[in-house]
């Protein structure tokens, strides 16, 4: 069965999703609608919607998906809705991720392990670096914040993050250094620095199509499910 998709947004990621669908040799997906900011997708002809728009538009799109009971994938970053799970309930399925690379989903899993290691190896400190193109609006990136959440959820030592810099250095917060320059698609590095050794793990996205492919897999996965999910849930299915 061909999955019919509606896309909120007409930017780089939205076009990458369309290109990924067009490049496929199988008729697994069909993009029926791609609407720009301020427009709503006609819901009668789609199986799932993907949000690749802007942070200020996400809430209205979520309300639309809940009202129409349409499965929804949110690939937009820079927004925060604390009661999202309660809003969704069992009305529809919503999958949220700041990054749709499966390698990054795996990196998040390793980050939680690093948190426990850092609790034990107390002489070392964790830090995060991220670099994106000069037109990216949010800073730090949603992925950097997700890495912090993965660490904090498994750590007895860290409680959050702070912007990198001597004046912001707090022992129980992970420093994040952000760079906005050039055309970089996305680089994320976790660093563990100890007096006599250093460990680092880096993910570099070479092409935006890696996010498009992941978003399409997420769209396929969320159909038929109810509640709030993330890419870690999709990854868990792959490992089960």
Residues annotated as part of the active site: 132, 136
Q: State the helix-helix crossing angle for 12-23 and 209-222, rounded to 10 degrees.
A: 80
Bridge-based pairing of strands 198-204 and 187-193 is antiparallel
Judged on CB neighbours under 10 Å (0-12, 13-18, 19+), 227 is middle
**Coil, strand or helix: which one is 214?**
helix
Report the candidate in 15, 9, 1 with the shortest Cα–Cα distance to residue 209. Answer: 15
Q: Which of 88-92's residues contact partners 24+ apart within 8 Å by CB, and which partners?
A: 88/226, 88/227, 88/228, 89/226, 89/227, 90/226, 90/227, 91/66, 91/226, 92/65, 92/66, 92/68, 92/226
Question: What is the CB neighbour count within 10 angstroms for residue 22?
Answer: 9
Instruction: Specify the DSSP element, H or E, that contains 144.
Output: helix 142-154
């Amino acid at each position: 069965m061909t999955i019919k998709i509606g896309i909120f947004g007409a930017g780089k990621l939205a076009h990458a999703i369309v290109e990924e669908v067009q490049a496929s040799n199988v008729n697994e997906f069909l993009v029926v609608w791609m609407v720009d900011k301020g427009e709503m997708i006609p819901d009668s002809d789609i199986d799932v919607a993907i949000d690749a728009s802007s942070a200020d538009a996400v809430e209205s799109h979520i309300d639309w998906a809940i009202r129409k009971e349409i499965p929804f994938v949110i690939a937009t970053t820079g927004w925060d809705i604390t009661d999202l799970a309660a809003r969704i309930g069992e009305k529809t399925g919503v999958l949220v991720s700041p990054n749709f690379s499966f390698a990054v989903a795996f990196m998040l899993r390793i980050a939680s392990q690093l948190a426990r290691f850092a609790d034990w190896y107390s002489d070392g400190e964790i830090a995060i670096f991220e670099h994106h193109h000069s037109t990216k609006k949010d800073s730090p990136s949603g992925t950097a914040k997700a890495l912090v959440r993965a660490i904090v959820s498994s750590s007895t030592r860290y409680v959050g993050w702070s912007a990198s810099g001597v004046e912001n250095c707090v022992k129980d917060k992970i420093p994040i250094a952000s760079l906005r320059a050039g055309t970089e698609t996305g680089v994320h590095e976790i660093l563990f620095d100890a007096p006599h050794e250093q460990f680092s793990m880096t993910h570099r996205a070479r092409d935006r199509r890696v996010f498009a492919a992941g978003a399409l897999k997420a769209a396929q996965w969320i159909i038929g499910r109810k509640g709030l999910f993330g890419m870690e849930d999709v990854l868990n299915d792959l490992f089960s």
